[in-house]
Structure 1
Amino acid sequence: MVMVGSFASFFSPLSSSIYFPALDSIAVALHRSTSDIDLTITTYLIMQGIAPMLIAGFSDKAGRRPAYIICFTIYLAANLGLSLQNSYAALMVLRCLQSAGSSGTVALANGLVGDMISASERGAYIAFASVGSMLGPSLSPIIGGLISQYLDWHWIFWFLLIFSGTFFAFLLLLLPETCRKVVGDGSIPPPPLNMSLTDFIRHRRRKRNGIVPNPEKLAELRKNYTLRIPSPLPTLRICLDLETGAVLMTTGLMFACFYAVMTGATTSFHNIYHFNNIQTALMYLPIGGGGIVSAFTTGRIVDWNYRRNAKRAGFPILKNVRQDITNFNIEKARLQVALPTYYLSVVTVIAYGWVVGRNVNLAAPIILLFLAGWGLQATSQVLNALMVDLWPDRSAAATAANNLFRCELGAAASAAISPMSAAMGDGWAYTTLGLIAVAASPSLWLIINKGINWRQRRYQKQQKKASENRK
């Protein structure tokens, strides 16, 4: 189920990155400058940060399946419009709509992990959930390069329409509802709108075997079940938390470096190495390859470090049981892994800027892109796991908050990297972004020491408020 959610989240970065090799071709076709077409990337990223704020809080209350239905309906409609349009204004508007539909699926993938996986195993499963979001940057430029090289660029969006429509039919039939506020631990049958074919078969079989849901639990969940208009407030409340805000800011600045590399790579390899669309697309493979390797290695390190810290603290590890980690320093267990990978990411991005601007042997940027992909994905993976740990009952909203900072700062970096490189050169442009990220990193060291106290105070306030509401 986690892998299905991961594959669903593949469409957000796929739709963003598939576009990169065709930027120059689209600019010529629409009689616009490359800078104008670059703005469609910026607006895509802005919407990619805002849209999950609406859908994540909705999914934490109404369930994952209705949220997936909303996301894919919008996404399919946008792809159909993009396939048929020939105007810059339509391209801009429909790309925003495409981003709004696809970006919510990233938060939903981590929501599935939060629903089903305990903290002691969360590192590995967050890795599986993030495979889709890392495959996008590595595979989609190749697909886009092939399509734009041999077919009309409109076929990029026809491809997305056919591919996503086929996958959505599969998800609609088979992915069960997992939201704990709708199905509890899975023993409560979901409402009709949330029910998949697998849910129907499983609960019918349980009923035939004489296994009935707890009536009190069923009544409680149905009482709180609501299909409200999506609101950004649950996500904004998470952003205002002191500890969470520090994590979000550092994550966002790190991804600003990532998006700057991704956006600037097309122009760099076209102008410096004189590559065509397909050759440029292949240069995205190293960063994606590093991310995929990280997805299958970092999770094991994260879970090992969790067990090591738990053993030292005398904290029991119960498999497949959601434990109360109020008095366990989960921040330390996660950030001991995240900080080294954070600094590795920054160093490799700065080195890449100096190397690519000097027209050196192609092996150098390839190696640095691979290391950057590994470090960026490893850091993202650990910090995503920490966000779910901090907000276990609002895991989708927590991921949406993460996505907001990541995409908005990434949008700013992707818009700024071209004029920065033109004004000061690639080396100093990427160095400036890297140093800004380093300047924010002391907040992570502070969280290691103070985070548990901040989290405990927040939990106490939440419990006090819940107690007052019951009265």
Structure 2
Amino acid sequence: MPPRSEPASLTGPLVSSTPTEIPLPATSSSSEQQAPDMEPYSTFPSSMRTYLTYLLGFIITLSTLTATIYFPLIPLLSTQFSAGSIQSINLTVTAYAVAQALSPALFASLADCFGRRPVLLGLIALYAAASLGLALNRESYAGLITLRVLQSVGGSPTPALAYGIVADAAPVAERGAMLGPLLSTCNALSAVGPVVGGAVALATAGVEWVFVALLLVAVVSLLLAGFTLPETGRRVVGNGGLEARGVSKTWWSWGRGLVHRTRQRHDDSGNCEKQPEPLVKMVGVSKSRRQRWSLQDAVASFRIILYKDAFAVLWMVASSYSIYYTFQVAIPVIFDEVYGYNELQIGLVFLPGLAGMTIGGIVAGKLVDRNYAVIANKNGFEPEDKEKHDISMFPIEEARYRHCFIFILLETFLVIGYGWAVRYHVHPAVPITLQFFACALSTLLSHTSSALLVDIFPNSSSSAYASGQLMRCGLSAASAAVLQPLADAVGRGWYFTIFSLFVNISCAFSVAISMRAGVGWRQERLAKTP
């Protein structure tokens, strides 16, 4: 039998390397049954995919909005919780980032085994409970750290689960149509986070109502997902043709079933023959749905880090992203202490950086496709036949990293210039403008390297995504932890100079290593993979 057109390993956030066959309902005799390779990849209609795109875009703001809305509150939190220093509140950012790095791998693997829907609903509920606790917490610093960690555990895995739902519902050729608007929706909503957080804190002279606002977002997400989000896990409902059962059913379906059963009990025509259950419920479903979860599933993303070719790309993903993250942590303190801005003004200062992040992502998407076409033509490949290319032989590192050294050099000067502009208290328009371009280039480099990471792990793209988040958040947590002590020790000018040189030189080294040795390392890894 010819191989399926969609490898099973692309159908969820974390899956095993062994394809899992989903028995499909028979429509007639076995001899007349449709061949597996002729089955549609997904039975979800385009209207449902469109709805899922924007629903998931809203839900994953629980990850991004939670971070951006918090940054303008840092000076106020240090006063309210008598933490003693900005560094103490920065530790809550570090704790949040650590949980953000570790939790996706665990919950993505659980969602792969037991379905997206129940895991996602549980995470949203946990996030809502943590947000309520933060709104009620008035003075406990330990409580602040603990609840922020729980908030991160609840919100951070949602992008990985959203990616899994997209992979479940859309074939590879059509996933971009979902992922583009999904991420744009999330970024647009998250961009207003600092403004909302700063405005609410300024109006109420406290942080409680900011966490109430996050609670409301979580409650709306829970209701929308509970009533309307279908189960898409391919180990649970196959390509969508199998009926969801138990907690995988939507609350709307539960309500309709309850009404139907109530009507049946009041039906006086008891002589009617009971109709047989649809065959889709009776054909080998129990075995296909009985999944076992093991620790090996949860550590798949950790194993990817150990590959030489992957680590070089992962360092590029993490170090380039750390520039954007460092700016987000530094802005509240800088514009409070240096420029004397209030909470609302600090929130507004975040907007140029977030706008730069959005624009950088758009430009990265265009450049990735253009650079691929150039290198494909150069090596005698047809760009439109990308899926037919032998990735083990194609110089994908050269295609993705084309012109990256120029962007890294520009990023170096922008970050250094920002530090010295702040050091000499130049007009705030200067650091704000530098922040825009620095965040744009940081995102461009991070997205480009993330695209390469997915390219070199085509059969485990979601596991690669989780490993990227692990490295990215881990390095970001470290940068947040050392930011204030080093800035206090050497001054902001020298701190941003040292930080820029370290990050960008290591980025350039990662790019050079990948372009020089990446193909050989990748071929060596593929040769050893069973």
Which category of TM-score, normalised to the shorter sequence, fits these structures?
0.7 to 0.9
Give 1:174 deviation, angstroms. Answer: 3.3
Q: Is the 8 A contact 1:21 1:145 kept in 2?
A: yes
CA offsets 1:285-342 (integer angstroms, 9 cap, x no match)? 00001112233333222223333434444256359x7986444333332222655444
Structure 2 CA distance for aligned equivalents of residues 212 and 19 of structure 1: 51
- Do the aligned partners of residues 454 and 408 (structure 1) sit closer, same or farther apart at CA in structure 2, a change above 3 Å counting? same
Match of residue 212 from structure 2:
158
Deviates more, 1:82-91 or 1:283-292: 82-91
Deviates more, 1:355-364 or 1:263-272: 355-364
Deviates more, 1:450-459 or 1:368-377: 450-459
3-state SS in 1 of match to 2:401: helix
Aligned positions, number: 451
TM-score by length of structure 2 reads 0.75
Structure 2 CA distance for aligned equivalents of residues 17 and 393 of structure 1: 33
Match of residue 139 from structure 1:
192
Q: Larger % of helix: which?
A: 1
1:173 equivalenced with 2:227 (yes/no)? yes
Structure 2 CA distance for aligned equivalents of residues 139 and 51 of structure 1: 25
Deviates more, 1:65-74 or 1:84-93: 65-74
Of 474, 491, 495, the match for 1:408? 474
User: Gaps (5+ residues) in structure 2?
Assistant: 1-51, 255-277
Amino acid at match of 1:368: L
Give 1:266 deviation, angstroms. Answer: 0.8
User: Gaps (5+ residues) in structure 1?
Assistant: 201-210, 465-471
Of 134, 137, 143, the match for 1:85? 137
Larger Rg over CA atoms: 2
- Do the aligned partners of residues 308 and 223 (structure 1) sit closer, same or farther apart at CA in structure 2, a change above 3 Å counting? farther
Deviates more, 1:333-342 or 1:44-53: 333-342
1:35 equivalenced with 2:87 (yes/no)? yes
CA offsets 1:348-397 (integer angstroms, 9 cap, x no match)? 22221121222112221121111122112222222222222233443332
Structure 2 CA distance for aligned equivalents of residues 340 and 112 of structure 1: 36
1:98 equivalenced with 2:151 (yes/no)? yes
Identity percentage of aligned residues: 31
Q: Is the 8 A contact 2:160 2:466 kept in 1?
A: yes
Give 1:182 deviation, angstroms. Answer: 4.9
1:384 equivalenced with 2:450 (yes/no)? yes
Give 1:452 deviation, angstroms. Answer: 3.2
Match of residue 514 from structure 2:
447
Structure 1 CA distance for aligned equivalents of residues 441 and 328 of structure 2: 15
Structure 2 CA distance for aligned equivalents of residues 128 and 337 of structure 1: 27
Give 1:245 deviation, angstroms. Answer: 1.2
Match of residue 30 from structure 2:
none
Amino acid at match of 1:234: A
CA offsets 1:220-258 (integer angstroms, 9 cap, x no match)? 992674456796311111111211111112222222222
Match of residue 68 from structure 1:
120
Amino acid at match of 1:452: V
Give 1:164 deviation, angstroms. Answer: 1.7
TM-score by length of structure 1 reads 0.84
Match of residue 55 from structure 1:
107
Structure 2 CA distance for aligned equivalents of residues 345 and 44 of structure 1: 27
Structure 2 CA distance for aligned equivalents of residues 117 and 440 of structure 1: 37
1:21 equivalenced with 2:87 (yes/no)? no
3-state SS in 2 of match to 1:317: helix
Amino acid at match of 2:191: S
Structure 2 CA distance for aligned equivalents of residues 322 and 162 of structure 1: 47
Query: 5 Å matches for 1:168-317?
Result: 168-180=222-234, 182=236, 186=240, 192-196=246-250, 222=288, 225-226=291-292, 232-311=298-377, 312-315=379-382, 317=384
- Do the aligned partners of residues 182 and 388 (structure 1) sit closer, same or farther apart at CA in structure 2, a change above 3 Å counting? farther
Match of residue 429 from structure 1:
495
Match of residue 45 from structure 1:
97
Structure 2 CA distance for aligned equivalents of residues 400 and 137 of structure 1: 21
- Do the aligned partners of residues 293 and 212 (structure 1) sit closer, same or farther apart at CA in structure 2, a change above 3 Å counting? farther
- Do the aligned partners of residues 231 and 297 (structure 1) sit closer, same or farther apart at CA in structure 2, a change above 3 Å counting? same
Match of residue 368 from structure 1:
434
Match of residue 258 from structure 2:
none
CA offsets 1:52-83 (integer angstroms, 9 cap, x no match)? 12122333444433332232122111111111
Of 438, 456, 462, the match for 2:523? 456
Deviates more, 1:228-237 or 1:428-437: 228-237
Q: Is the 8 A contact 2:391 2:456 kept in 1?
A: no
Amino acid at match of 1:448: M
Deviates more, 1:398-407 or 1:328-337: 328-337
Amino acid at match of 1:290: G
Structure 2 CA distance for aligned equivalents of residues 230 and 70 of structure 1: 22
Structure 1 CA distance for aligned equivalents of residues 512 and 106 of structure 2: 31
Amino acid at match of 1:154: E
Match of residue 356 from structure 1:
422
Match of residue 420 from structure 1:
486
Structure 1 CA distance for aligned equivalents of residues 67 and 242 of structure 2: 38
- Do the aligned partners of residues 456 and 133 (structure 1) sit closer, same or farther apart at CA in structure 2, a change above 3 Å counting? farther
Structure 2 CA distance for aligned equivalents of residues 394 and 225 of structure 1: 19
Amino acid at match of 1:51: S
Structure 2 CA distance for aligned equivalents of residues 377 and 89 of structure 1: 33
Match of residue 21 from structure 2:
none
Give 1:159 deviation, angstroms. Answer: 0.7
- Do the aligned partners of residues 421 and 109 (structure 1) sit closer, same or farther apart at CA in structure 2, a change above 3 Å counting? same
Q: Is the 8 A contact 2:114 2:291 kept in 1?
A: yes
Q: Is the 8 A contact 2:356 2:440 kept in 1?
A: yes
Structure 2 CA distance for aligned equivalents of residues 414 and 31 of structure 1: 20
Deviates more, 1:322-331 or 1:401-410: 322-331
Amino acid at match of 2:477: A
